[in-house]
Structures are given as C-alpha cells and as structure tokens.
C-alpha cells in the first residue's frame, strides 16, 4: 500500500495543523467562536514566521565569513540574497496577518473588500488572509492577466 503524501492541509488537520472550524447549523457567520478560531490561527502563523526571521538572522550571523575565494564568497552572497528575499515575502505576509487580526477586532474579517459578501469559512481556512470572495478574486486575476498580456 503506497504511503500517503504529507500535505500542509489534509482532512483531519487544517491550515497550520489547526483543525478546521466545525460550523453549527444556523450559527451566525463570523461569530465570536469563528473570530477566535481565525485569531488563534493567524497568531500561530505569525509566531512561526517571526521565529523563522529570528532563525535567519542567527544563521546569517553565524555563517557570515569573508571567504578568500571569490567563488565561495559569491555563493554565500547568493544564498543570503535568496534568504533575504524569502524573509521579505514573509515580512509582507506578517503585515497581511496583522491587517487580518485588525479586521477581526473591528468586525470586518471574513467579508469581501470589493463587494461586501461573506468570503466563506472554507476559503478562510485555506487562506486566512483572504480579503476577496472567490468571485471577486477570480475577476481580479482575469483583469490582471489581460492587463499583463
């Protein structure tokens, strides 16, 4: 029997190992329980990203060396550049996480920025920083594709 592939999200454990929110029939969308579920998920994600930033800083300090060989020096600089690019993407993601946490606090989390409808629990489970419903996101991608061509 083949081994199951390990994925970031599977049936029993959702995003970041958080179990998916179990909706109760008839409950109000983005109620306190849902808000707290996503708040905990976002905070855990932010914490993990911040720890990765700290690991990178320590790694770069520990590994920084002035190699006499230009090829070794160029390789190290290239590796550091790649790490810094990844951290820059994570910095932007942390900003989006903070914005999502603010949206939870002010009651705007889970609603589309463009049309105002519910983004949906399952979409937020997959992408907790989503700010657009699937329809508006699809339209944005179509527009972007046409403008970019």
Tokens 């708040």, residue located: 39
- Both 50 and 95 in a single domain? yes
The pLDDT score that the predictor gives to residue 5 is 39
More confident residue, 1 or 104: 104
Quote the domain boundaries for residue 128. Answer: 110-149
Q: What torsion, rounded to 10 degrees, do the Cα atoms 13, 14, 19, 20 define?
A: -140
The pLDDT score that the predictor gives to residue 14 is 63
- Both 128 and 91 in a single domain? no
Average pLDDT of the residues in 100-129: 97
| pLDDT (tens digit per residue) in 39-85 | 999 999 999 999 988 888 777 777 777 777 888 878 888 888 888 88
In a domain, 14, yes or no: no
**Percent of the chain at pLDDT exceeding 90:** 58
- Find the CATH number of the domain harbouring 100: 1.20.120.910
- Both 34 and 91 in a single domain? yes
Split into its structural domains, the chain has a count of 2
Please classify residue 7 by burial: count the beta carbons closer than 10 Å to its beta carbon, then call 0-12 exposed, 13-18 middle and 19+ buried. exposed
Residue 97: band (very low, low, confident or very high) from pLDDT cuts 50, 70, 90: very high
The pLDDT score that the predictor gives to residue 124 is 97
- Both 128 and 74 in a single domain? no
- Has this prediction a pTM greater than 0.75? yes
* Other C-beta atoms lying within 10 Å of the C-beta of residue 38: 25
| pLDDT (tens digit per residue) in 125-134 | 999 999 999 9
How far apart CA 129 and CA 127 sit, in angstroms, is 6
**Percent of the chain at pLDDT exceeding 70:** 89
């Amino acid at each position: 029997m083949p081994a199951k592939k390990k994925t970031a999200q599977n049936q029993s454990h959702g995003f970041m190992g958080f179990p998916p929110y179990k909706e109760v029939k008839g409950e109000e969308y983005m109620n306190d329980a849902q808000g707290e579920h996503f708040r905990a998920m976002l905070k855990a994600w932010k914490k993990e990203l911040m720890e990765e930033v700290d690991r990178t800083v320590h790694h770069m300090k520990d590994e920084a060396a002035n190699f006499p060989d230009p090829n070794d020096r160029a390789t190290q600089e290239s590796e550091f550049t790649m790490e810094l690019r990844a951290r820059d993407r994570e910095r932007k993601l942390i900003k989006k996480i903070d914005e999502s946490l603010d949206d939870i606090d002010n009651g705007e989390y889970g609603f589309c920025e463009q049309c105002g409808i519910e983004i949906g629990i399952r979409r937020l489970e997959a992408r907790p920083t989503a700010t657009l419903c699937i329809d508006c996101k699809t339209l944005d991608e179509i527009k972007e594709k046409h403008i970019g061509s």
